[in-house]
Amino acid sequence: MLIFQLAYAYLMPDKRKVSLKHIAEKAGVSTALVSYVLNGKERESRVGSEISQKIKLLAKELNYTPNYVAKSLRSGKTHTIGLIIADIANPFFANIAREVEDEAKKTGYTVIIGSSDENPEKFKDLISVFLDRQVDGLIVVSTEKSFQQIKMLHQRKYPFVLLDRYFPELQTDYVSIDSFQASFSATTHLLQNGYKNIGFIGYKSKLFHMIERKRGVTEALEKVGITPLKNWSQSITFDKVETELKTAMEAMIFSQTPVDAILFGTYRLAINGLKIIRELGIKIPDQLAIVSYGQAESFELYECPITYLEQPLGALGKKAVSLLVDKIKEPSHIPEQILMKARLVIGESSHSISESISKV
């Protein structure tokens, strides 16, 4: 799905459209002076605050909108940013798209959004479409098998920032959470509450963030002398969640050495997993503790509020836009790698074993 957020007026200019000349005549100043003010250059052009305020008020009263076509022809820029997200149906990506859009607007950019639906071919097509559209830069949530496209952008020195998912072997700008630390802290929380057989469910993926989420669980267990069993970790094919997840969970829960807690690697896995837990008649947290990535309101509205790892959506989106704008303005800008911390929001689904027993 590709959402082009271009106004009709952008494509079909109104002949009666207010120009800089109209504002200049009303204000009794030069067109150049109006241009300085409306482009945010009044300070460097030493325009007085009184006349600057007058010009801005007139522009607002006359419903002035910039002529981006003319501006693009002069600057060679389209003032658009391409944003590729992994799955528009996922609340995490839908919310982060809004954050990126709002932040980009503040810096004078329009965002064109495309969803790859976790499909490598669709991802590749979106990259081509955005390059053909000559967007000034890209913010990209990578998919499986997208390394070559990202490497191509890197080699071409095309302005882009990786969001949420990145490739440590490429020296590119990226903004993500520290997935290893998030999983490590969630597992430590479960261990401190008396759980020992802690399982992890993620996607079958070679993407670094998913590998790190699993590694965080493993290392937290090994740190306290627990060797995780093979059936404690399950990997699900992205487009086969409905068919594979139940089998995987039954292998974890009904084995000879069953798990007593599960960390779900994504919100989608957790929501589907909670449905299966209900079908199986398992009580949370009395029989099974749950922690998940994601910050959907449904976790707090669940009959047993779910403990989850809250990812800083606002900060992720704002920083991605900031890095990209810097890159567009200065292509030689040294790449920045930003890892942010997820916050563990504790609900009833991971209460300590002693608390759970006292309820029975």
For 207-254, how does the pLDDT look when each residue is reduced to its tens digit (9 = 90+)? 999 999 999 999 999 999 999 999 999 999 998 998 999 999 999 999
What does the pLDDT read at residue 53?
83
What is residue 206's predicted lDDT score, i.e. its pLDDT? 93
Residue 306 per-residue DSSP state: P
For β-strands 307-310 and 343-345, DSSP reports them as antiparallel
145-172, pLDDT tens digit by residue? 999 999 999 999 999 999 999 999 999 9
The domain defined by 75-177+313-340 folds into Rossmann fold (3.40.50)
Evaluate if residue 73 carries a pLDDT over 70. no
Mean pLDDT of 58-65: 80
Q: Is the pLDDT of residue 200 over 60?
A: yes
Domain ranges of the chain: 18-64, 75-177+313-340, 179-311+344-359
d(CA 332, CA 46): 30
- Measured between alpha carbons, how far is 265 from 1 in angstroms, rounded to an integer? 25
Query: What mean pLDDT is predicted for residues 106-118?
Result: 94
Average pLDDT over residues 170-188: 97
194 pLDDT higher than 90: yes
- How does residue 56 score in pLDDT terms, banded at 50, 70 and 90? confident
pLDDT at 51 (0 to 100)? 78
* pLDDT for 78: 81
CA–CA separation, 138 and 84 (whole Å): 8
Residue 285 preceded by cis peptide, ω within 30: yes
pLDDT class of 76 with cuts at 50, 70, 90: low
- Is residue 345 exposed (0-12), middle (13-18) or buried (19+ Cβ within 10 Å)? middle
Q: Is the pLDDT of residue 276 over 90?
A: yes
pLDDT at 6 over 50: no
CA atoms within a 13 Å half-sphere pointing along the CA-CB vector of 298 = 14
Could you tell me the CA-to-CA distances from 296 to 84, 93, 292, 300 in Å, in that order?
21, 11, 10, 8
Mean local confidence (pLDDT), 37-42: 70
Phi-psi region of 303 (alpha: psi -120 to 50; beta: other; left: phi over 0): alpha
Decide if pLDDT at 5 tops 70: no
Q: Report the pLDDT value the prediction gives residue 358, as an integer from 0 to 100.
A: 46
pLDDT of residue 60: 81
Q: Average per-residue pLDDT in the chain?
A: 87
Averaged pLDDT, 184-213: 97
Q: Which fold does the domain 18-64 belong to in CATH?
A: 434 Repressor (Amino-terminal Domain) (1.10.260)
pLDDT digits (tens, 9 = 90+) for 292-326: 998 667 777 778 899 999 999 999 999 999 999 99
Q: How confident is the model at residue 72 (pLDDT cuts 50, 70, 90)?
A: low
- For the segment(s) 179-311+344-359, the CATH number from 3.40.50.300, 3.40.718.10, 3.10.20.740, 3.40.50.2300 is 3.40.50.2300
> Which run of H or of E encompasses 98?
helix 91-106
Average pLDDT on 104-130 reads 94
Domains 18-64 and 75-177+313-340 share a fold: no
